[in-house]
Structure 1
Amino acid sequence: MGAFFNFSVCLFSAIGSFLFVAIGYDSGIIGSVVSQEFDYFQRYFHNPGPNITGAIVSTFAGGCFFGAAAAGSLATRIGRKRTIQLGALVAMLGCSLQAGARNVSYLIVGRLIAGLAIGCLSMVVPLYQSEISPPEIRGFLTGLTQFMISIGFLVANWVGYGCQFIRGHAQWRVALAVQILPAALLFLGMFILPYSPRWLIERGRDDEALGVVRRLHGNAKNKEFIDLEFAEMKEQIRYEQENYSTKFSDLWATKPMLRRTLTGMAIQICTQFTGINVSSYFQPTLYAALGLSGSKILMITGINGALGAITTIIFIFFFLDRIGRKPPLYFGAIGMAISLAVEAAINAKWGGVNSTNHPAQTAGVAFIIIFSALFFSVSFGPISWVYQSEIFPMRVRAIGTSVCTCANWASNVLISQVSPIGMARLQYRFYILFVVTNICNALIVFFFFPETKGKSLEEMDEVFGDQVIPHALETKQVNNVGAEDEKSRGSDV
């Protein structure tokens, strides 16, 4: 019962926030909407050039930056659960404005407001998932975030493929309006999901927290594990409350904390500099550069999305919690560098909108798919969300995760704004930039990232070198909760 409930909570929070509303659907659908295949969109907005297109895309990421920044404080004050619901409400407003846009300014404002919501959700949902997951399957459960992003891309791509055949402005309005329904479902569905037990302990609501832990992890055989896990949470959080502050400056106050902060920011920045969002936002443009045109472009985009979702779920279910975080990051970074190098060579030799070399077109499409659906989906895609949400201590976990997510969206703004210009001016040379950045990503992971596989959130202090109290799950006994607390805990159990 506990494992099933745990899985259901993580899956629903991932589906609700990411399937359509968040990064997956929005990033996927905007690439279709701004493409030449959406001719009614082009006419309505007077054929926007690269600068306007970049602004339409990047404004969303800019909103995400500020949404993620605000979410850290909100998640601490009102809780992870209520912050998710607030994000869903704001998403409904932003998506409605996009679907009803009357001009470019209207559309950009809608994307900015939706971005605020998605930035908030992209920070707090992985945080919520990590805090309700047992350590041995935390990679899988938190990795569901990326899986649902992939599903979001998949649905967006096929919605985009279908909507291109609509004659009239419903062609793009329907595609953008689809985002509203899951936001409403998320808002309502979160009423029946639990609060984070760690947040409840931090707020002094120990009885409620113990009840949540029992529901999440409980069965007839693991009463001792539940007792020790709850004790470990309570011991660590109480020690932090008694001995540390919760100031923003704590993120760099000590060498281990600075390492946590820089590592969390680095994995998100490295994720953006894989080049994935060039592929995500402008995938139809990449296929057009190979000489492809018409409905075939959006059909291929849909196939890519399906393969990415399949690869992600296989990876997080069978491999992530077994082989750890670092090895897949090496593998993915090198694989993406090779894929993009080959893609650059194909475009340099046989690319161009007038290309008729079908074998080259096929190879070019294949390596775009290999880049995103294979190498990204088994590395930075799922691991970035898992890693940033598991490395911080409870007292600064929300603001630390917020800072890392802001780093993601700041990089996203940069890349999404300059990509249309870079692709237009540099053409195949634009790929080479990301060949270099992916090689740098592999080196950064190798030299600076610690392995976190199998550790509880409270045991991360051992990983980063700032452990000060023993852990109940290791010692098999309560170590740092006073006699009165232990008696109270015993009577609850």
Structure 2
Amino acid sequence: MDSLRQRLPAPRQAMLAKESRSSPSITAAFEPSRISELARDSLPWYKVASRRRLYALLFPGAIVSYMTSGYDGSMMNSLQTVSYWDDFFGNPRGSTLGLISAIIALGAMCSAPFAPWVADRFGRRWGITVGSCIMIAGAIIQCESTTFAMFVISRFILGFGLTFCTTASPSLVSELSHPKERVAVTAICNTCWFLGAIAAAWITYGTRVIPSTWSWRIPSLLQMLPSVIQLSVIWFLPESPRWLISNDRGEEAMAALKRYHGDGEETELVKLEYEEICAAIHQEKESGNTTWKSMVSTKGNRYRMFIVVCMGTFSQWSGNGLISYYLARILETIGINDSATKSLINGIINIWNFLIAITSALLVERIGRRPLFRISTIGMFVTFSAWTIASAVYAETAAHGAAMAVLVLIFLFQFFYCIAFSPLPVAYSVEILPYSVRAKGMATYVFTTKVAVFVNQYVNPIGLANIQWKYYIVYVVILAIESFIAYGWFVETKGRALEEIAVIFDGEEAEVIAVAKSEVEIAQVEDFDHKKV
């Protein structure tokens, strides 16, 4: 077992960290940096007016991007219980239903090459603005759909715009947030999926009784609400300091850092952040690590991309897609056919998911990433295996107890999923990526996620229709693989600033080490030249 731990990067890092606590010779490599110490000692955000204002703008301006995806999944789940929608589009089932759900993912995949270019060339705010405008157009067309083809095209447009927002938003959030709250705030991004899901579930629950096509047109139109909120707020936020510095606008970057991280003062933390960002971006430009090719040109970047791809894939291929988009069909396999009951369960489960996800997001920095990933993957594997067995028993016996067991296990499975794969895929991906490839890396994350979603959404209804509970065995195997990869490759990043995480992946090649070692001397410089880039 020790030999295996030595060969796998994540257990090896964990062992070194444990040894560092008892061995002074290697403790320095694992000590928190001066930035981390200053951030830890800072006042909580709710006691600082500038940070209260920052997060009051960041939430509606950037974080709500993820509401659109959640809204879509829950809406499509709920619309399957609305007779006017079902009849209007010819009672779609199997591959037809899969196409309606999956087409939004295809649209997101098609815009993946363009989204990082906009975010890097014009700034994070423009990426969010472009994406929001496209999604508003898509929602309006979706509401006005008169044919099956028009409805499908509208959902493609929604997906096309979604990638622009979900590429730029997490970058802006992580790059603007104060170091003390950065992880929690970034983790909250993906939990907003459930805010959208809750809204869609209960809106559709209410409109399903309207005796016309407005029973599905109203929820379809309201899918543009997160985008409208973003457009109304995003330009009240400053641009990312890292983007400003990389575009030779150091004075604006320092002004943003002073206003929101120093409460209007040029504090020691602000100076150190500024200098570290400058050093990291300068090193990345000098080394040429700013292209698509650079994402796989070094061992450290290949490792990063492996984790990013895993985050995108695991967040969709863990069995959660069945619940997000096809809960109504799953409930039918255990004898729950009443549309009101199915809609009610959908609404309740999304509230449950959000409460678990937001709690986990707020505890990420205290617990750590690695423990959450390990508990989550093992827990999902066990509960999904039990879910499969209970489904098989119901299929054979139609026992009420087996049906109730499936329902309980669905909620328990969602608990294990939400403690890690709701808050962490975005937060973990964005923090391990260096600035030079952060937008491209997040576009890769979105692309991978949407490929996984597309396959999931297209294949799931076919599998459920043809082999019913036996289809769950596929996910049991996938979850076993995920558990091993989480153990072997998901390293801990707890307690490190964005630029310092590079040390974990690049080792001695990460020149930010030199910056970290000289932080104390930088803090003592009386005449700090904040115009230097």
TM-score range, shorter chain: over 0.9
Alpha-carbon offset, residue 63 of structure 1: 0.8
Q: Check the 8 A contact 2:65/2:169 in 1, yes or no.
A: yes
Aligned mate of 2:176, from 105, 113, 132: 132
Q: Check the 8 A contact 1:284/1:297 in 2, yes or no.
A: yes
TM-score (ref. length: structure 1): 0.93
Q: What does residue 297 of structure 1 align with?
A: 342
What does the per-residue CA deviation read over 1:324-369, in whole Å, with 9 as the maximum and x for residues that have no partner? 11111111111111221111111111149x94x4333322111112
Alpha-carbon offset, residue 487 of structure 1: 5.0
Q: What does residue 475 of structure 1 align with?
A: 518
Aligned mate of 2:495, from 430, 434, 454: 454
Q: Check the 8 A contact 1:131/1:198 in 2, yes or no.
A: yes
| Distance (whole Å) between structure 1 residues aligned to residue 200 and residue 168 of structure 2 | 23
Q: Check the 8 A contact 2:259/2:265 in 1, yes or no.
A: no
Alpha-carbon offset, residue 404 of structure 1: 2.0
Instruction: Look up the equivalent residue of 2:72 and give its one-letter code.
Output: D
| Distance (whole Å) between structure 1 residues aligned to residue 190 and residue 287 of structure 2 | 36
Q: What does residue 53 of structure 1 align with?
A: 97
Change beyond 3 A, Cα 1:471–1:165: farther
Moved more, 40-49 or 132-141: 132-141
Moved more, 65-74 or 108-117: 65-74
Q: What does residue 13 of structure 1 align with?
A: 61
Aligned mate of 2:400, from 355, 358, 375: 358
Alpha-carbon offset, residue 469 of structure 1: 4.0
Alpha-carbon offset, residue 443 of structure 1: 0.8
Alpha-carbon offset, residue 451 of structure 1: 1.4
Instruction: Look up the equivalent residue of 1:232 and give its one-letter code.
Output: E
SS in 1 for 2:172: helix
Residue pairs, 1:71-470, within 5 angstroms: 71-219=115-263, 223-294=267-338, 295-317=340-362, 319-351=363-395, 355=398, 357-372=399-414, 374-464=415-505, 465=507, 466-470=509-513
What does the per-residue CA deviation read over 1:26-82, in whole Å, with 9 as the maximum and x for residues that have no partner? 11101111x1x2111111111123111100000011111123332111110011111
Q: Check the 8 A contact 2:289/2:295 in 1, yes or no.
A: no
Aligned mate of 1:25, from 60, 71, 74: 71
| Distance (whole Å) between structure 1 residues aligned to residue 157 and residue 353 of structure 2 | 28
Change beyond 3 A, Cα 1:249–1:296: same
Instruction: Look up the equivalent residue of 1:228 and give its one-letter code.
Output: L
| Distance (whole Å) between structure 1 residues aligned to residue 288 and residue 237 of structure 2 | 31
Unaligned runs of 5+ in 2: 1-48
TM-score (ref. length: structure 2): 0.86
Moved more, 145-154 or 299-308: 145-154
SS in 1 for 2:315: helix
Change beyond 3 A, Cα 1:241–1:169: same
Q: Check the 8 A contact 1:10/1:142 in 2, yes or no.
A: no
Q: Check the 8 A contact 2:250/2:532 in 1, yes or no.
A: no
| Distance (whole Å) between structure 2 residues aligned to residue 397 and residue 307 of structure 1 | 32
What does the per-residue CA deviation read over 1:273-322, in whole Å, with 9 as the maximum and x for residues that have no partner? 112122101111111111012200110110000011111111111x2011
Instruction: Look up the equivalent residue of 1:210 and give its one-letter code.
Output: M
Alpha-carbon offset, residue 220 of structure 1: 7.8
Q: Check the 8 A contact 1:265/1:405 in 2, yes or no.
A: no
Alpha-carbon offset, residue 187 of structure 1: 1.1
| Distance (whole Å) between structure 2 residues aligned to residue 425 and residue 335 of structure 1 | 28
What does the per-residue CA deviation read over 1:356-392, in whole Å, with 9 as the maximum and x for residues that have no partner? x4333322111112212x1111011211011111112
Change beyond 3 A, Cα 1:174–1:345: same
| Distance (whole Å) between structure 1 residues aligned to residue 422 and residue 357 of structure 2 | 8
Moved more, 216-225 or 359-368: 216-225
Unaligned runs of 5+ in 1: none
Instruction: Look up the equivalent residue of 1:301 and give its one-letter code.
Output: N
Q: How many residues align?
A: 481
| Distance (whole Å) between structure 2 residues aligned to residue 67 and residue 429 of structure 1 | 35
Moved more, 60-69 or 466-475: 466-475
SS in 2 for 1:280: helix
Change beyond 3 A, Cα 1:463–1:2: farther
**Alpha-carbon RMSD:** 2.3
| Distance (whole Å) between structure 2 residues aligned to residue 349 and residue 234 of structure 1 | 61
SS in 2 for 1:246: coil
Instruction: Look up the equivalent residue of 1:393 and give its one-letter code.
Output: P
Alpha-carbon offset, residue 191 of structure 1: 1.3
| Distance (whole Å) between structure 1 residues aligned to residue 496 and residue 125 of structure 2 | 24
| Distance (whole Å) between structure 2 residues aligned to residue 191 and residue 333 of structure 1 | 39
Q: Check the 8 A contact 1:268/1:404 in 2, yes or no.
A: yes
